[in-house]
Every structure is written in structure tokens, then in C-alpha cells.
Amino acid sequence: MTTVIHPTAVVSEQAQLGENVSIGPYCVVDKDVCIGDDSKLISHVVISGQTTLGKKNRVFPFASIGHEPQDLKYHGEASQVVIGDDNTIRENVTINPGTEGGGMLTQLGNNNLLMAYSHVAHDCVLGSDIVMANCATLAGHVSVDDGAIIGGMSAIHQFLRIGRYAMIGGMSGIVKDVPPFCLTAGGYRPGLAGLNLVGLKRQGLGLERIRLLKEVYRILLQSNDSLDQRLAEANVLAEGDDYAEHLIEFVSTSKKGLTVHRRDQS
């Protein structure tokens, strides 16, 4: 099949379109945009700036991608949005490009689902297989690792990291890093509530490995010992298990502090 552009769409002659691209009614695609093969803009989608979409992406009505970031320090620098393959970007999603203060790039991997009204701010870096539920919001410079799930109406503070396969409950206000494989209870004063057991089982982890990860979680995130003591104890226990070692590495390198276990909050 060949690329199909609806008569009401406005597509710059300088835009780069792959094979079998579908651009629906009233879409606007500016000159520096590149859209990969088999991608589809349903209708009323506006893509601007230096924005690249990979293959097989679906973008739903009233999404806005690549327009200047909502950052007062932005002064028109030629920053980018780069989006991978097989992503679903639902209604009214906004994705802003990077800034000079953050590496000039906002990036998404593959197979992500951004539900309606979710927002990806400037200089965010998202991995793959991520779900952002309705109205989930990332402030600038947020990093979200593979497989994370961010609940509806949650807001992530700038410069934070959400770990691999973490799950954040709805209506959470996250102000510190969320470790990988952890479940964050939503609502007022969100905090860790154990491991994301469903997510771990979906990754094929057996009971023994989950028990090990639980013990490492307890040592790292519930013990009152010093950080050095907790890391030393966890390292001995976790040796050779890549999931446990990844959790330890995340805790040891966190720059913004960690979301604490819910019962440990005052």
C-alpha cells in the first residue's frame, strides 16, 4: 500500500513520510517531521519541530507532539523528539522536545501506551513497554525505565527516575525516585507497598527468585541500618541474581532520594 493523506490534512512537502503511512482528517505535519512506515495519524493530530516517529505508531485525535516545551528557559533551540516503533499515543497526549539544559532530546522507546491526556515534558527519556494511564504527567528531565506503569492522574516531579517494572498507583504525587520492581500505593502521601508481584511473575520469575528479591527489598528499603550497611548485606545475598543486583544498583546510585516504604513515613 502507498501513503494516504486526507484532503483536509496539511502536510509540508519537506516532511519525510515512510511507506503505508496514513494521515487522517485535519492533521498538521510540519517540515522537519519524519514519520516511519505503517504509522497512522487518526485525525486532528499536530506534529511539529524536529520530531521523528518510527514504524507502526498510532496517534489519536488532538495529540500534540514536538511543539515548544513549557519551560521558560527555552529560547528556540533546535531540540528534538524521537519516538520508536509500535507506540500508541491516545487522545490529547502532549509530548514536548528537549532543551539546551537537558540534552536537547525527549525520547520514547518502543511499544509504549500513553493514554488520553498524559503528558511527557521536555528532556524526558522513556524506555519501552511503558504504560502511562489517563492524565499521568511527567515533569521535565524524568527517566522512566522499561515496563513501568504510571497510574492515572499521577504526577512525577522533575529530574526523577522511575525504575524498571515499577508500578505507581493512581493519583500519586511522586517526589523521589521509585525503585525498580516496586509497587507504589497511590493517593494521598504515596509510598512503597512492596514488590510488583504481578509484574515480576509476568517476567517469568519463579517463587525462589521472588523470595530473594523480597529479602533484598526488606534490607534496602525497610531496614534502619546505614546505607553502606544495607548495601553490603544486600550484595552478599543478591550475588548472581540480575534482578536483585539491579535493585541494589538503583538504590546505590539514586541522586534524588528514594520513595520510602509506606509504613515508614511519619
* Judgement on whether residues 212 and 134 belong to the same structural domain of the protein: no
Q: All 3 cell numbers of residue 80?
A: 528534538
* Judgement on whether residues 21 and 89 belong to the same structural domain of the protein: yes
Is position 150 within any domain?
no
User: Starting from the edge strand earliest in sequence, which strands make up the sheet with 167-168, in order?
Assistant: 4-5, 22-23, 40-41, 58-59, 88-89, 113-114, 131-132, 149-150, 167-168, 182-185, 191-195
Cα separation, 30 vs 106, whole angstroms: 18
Is position 183 within any domain?
no
Active site residues: 122-123, 140
Q: What CATH code is carried by the domain that includes residue 219?
A: 1.20.1180.10
Is position 36 within any domain?
yes
Cα separation, 25 vs 44, whole angstroms: 6
Q: What is the pLDDT of residue 266?
A: 43
* Judgement on whether residues 111 and 210 belong to the same structural domain of the protein: no
Query: pLDDT digits over 175-222, tens only?
Result: 999 999 999 998 877 899 999 999 999 999 999 999 999 999 999 999
Average pLDDT over residues 84-102: 98
Cα separation, 141 vs 122, whole angstroms: 6
pLDDT higher than threshold 70 for residue 264:
no
Q: What CATH code is carried by the domain that includes residue 55?
A: 2.160.10.10
Is position 147 within any domain?
no
Measure the CA angle with vertex 254, ends 252 and 258; round to 5°: 105
- Per the structure, the count of domains in the chain is 2
Query: pLDDT digits over 109-150, tens only?
Result: 999 999 999 999 999 999 999 999 999 999 999 999 999 999
* Judgement on whether residues 137 and 70 belong to the same structural domain of the protein: yes
- Of 141, 158, 190, which residue is a domain's last? 141
The candidate with the shortest Cα–Cα distance to 33, out of 13, 15, 10, 20, is 15
* Judgement on whether residues 21 and 122 belong to the same structural domain of the protein: yes
Is position 177 within any domain?
no
Is position 166 within any domain?
no
Residue 147: C-alpha distances to residues 107, 111, 201 (Å): 15, 10, 13
Cα separation, 127 vs 231, whole angstroms: 26
- Of 107, 141, 175, which residue is a domain's last? 141
* Judgement on whether residues 205 and 133 belong to the same structural domain of the protein: no
Cα separation, 20 vs 40, whole angstroms: 9
CA 257 to chain CA centroid, Å, is 19
* Judgement on whether residues 209 and 133 belong to the same structural domain of the protein: no
Is position 190 within any domain?
no
pLDDT higher than threshold 80 for residue 265:
no
Is position 9 within any domain?
yes
Identify the domain containing residue 63 by its residue range.
Answer: 4-141
Query: pLDDT digits over 31-68, tens only?
Result: 999 999 999 999 999 999 999 999 999 999 999 999 99
Q: What is the pLDDT of residue 189?
A: 78
* Judgement on whether residues 22 and 124 belong to the same structural domain of the protein: yes
